[in-house]
Amino acid sequence: MTYAHQSFTDDHEIVSRMPSWVTSTRTETLEDVAFLSGATLGHLHLVLSRDDVPQTLLRARLALWAAEACVAHQGRPERAAELRDAVAFLQPGDSPGPAGEVYQCWRRAIERPVSVKALHRALPEVEAEQIATWLDAGQGAPVRRAAAVLQAVLEDRPRDHAAALILAEAALSQVLGWTHLNPLLALGLKRADLRKTAEALQLACHRAIVTAAIEATRAAADLTRRAARLMAVAPNLRAKGADEAVALFLSRDTVAPAALASLRSDRAARRFCDRLVELGAVRELTGRDTFRLYGI
């Protein structure tokens, strides 16, 4: 078999180009799928090492998709738009609702470097000692270890898909040497997959990695382009506090004007966001006239 030569250049368009022999191959055996998942993870690792990829923003986008998948596993109707609303407009003391709580767990999970302490912060209802025990459940290669952790958590908490997937993602990231959790398994695993065990679960996890890593590289390419556009127009923004506001857009999937405290007033924040939309640097995400949300 002849493989197409794959090289990285400074052109960020290359970020989205997973090798064609990965995306076009259909396999059934555990060994073959494991080989493909390793290839996609290797490519994604190169993507995550690039300085031009907005890493924090990419993790935030993947966390939204992961939360959406977990909520769907629960049989709930909320999708990305509703999850964004549930969290963006929270006031102190407010409850985000069951779907919003899942999204908040994922947001906390990606914010800090992977550690038992950080995972306990993301999942405060789970004891830190229990988290450490689950993380030790898996050994060996990255996906095998992640599948073992996933199975261990689900055996103890069969309905807590979010916690199980977050801890499995953490195990995967640790073995791969990633400082932060990058959601992947949650994007590719189906609800039925979470009832599997042993080799069947490993096979499902490898397949999920192939699907998710391809989507993650595409998202990285898209966000890299959009971040570059925002950075290009940033020097022309004259509003006081603009630098801090731009930094927020580069770190969050969703920004409400009220979150732009550096712009001193809600009116100034709304005008700033609308100006970025006019410049093609950000998008308005809701289509509403009020309670609008923006993002790259």
The pLDDT tens digits for 251-279 are 999 999 999 999 989 999 999 999 999 99
| Distance from C-alpha of 208 to C-alpha of 165, rounded to nearest angstrom | 12
Amino acid making up residue 66: A
Phi, psi of 284 (to 5 degrees): -85, 130
| Distance from C-alpha of 88 to C-alpha of 98, rounded to nearest angstrom | 15
pTM assigned to the model: 0.92
Length of the chain: 296
- The confidence score (pLDDT) of residue 40 equals 94
Radius of gyration of the chain (CA): 20
Number of Cβ atoms within 10 Å of the Cβ of 288: 10
Q: Write out the two tokens for 100.
A: 């919003």
Q: What is the 3-state secondary structure (H, E, C) of 41-88?
A: HHHHHHHHCCCCCCHHHHHHHHHHHHHHHHHHHCCCCCCHHHHHHHHH
- The confidence score (pLDDT) of residue 287 equals 95
Q: Which residue has the tokens 């004007």?
A: 257
- The runs of H, that is alpha helices, within the chain are 20-23, 30-48, 55-73, 80-88, 97-111, 116-122, 128-135, 142-156, 161-176, 185-188, 198-233, 242-249, 266-278
Provide the pLDDT confidence category of residue 9 given band limits of 50, 70 and 90: very low
The pLDDT tens digits for 31-68 are 999 999 999 999 999 999 999 999 999 999 999 999 99
Handedness of CA 70, 43, 141, 206 (dihedral sign): positive
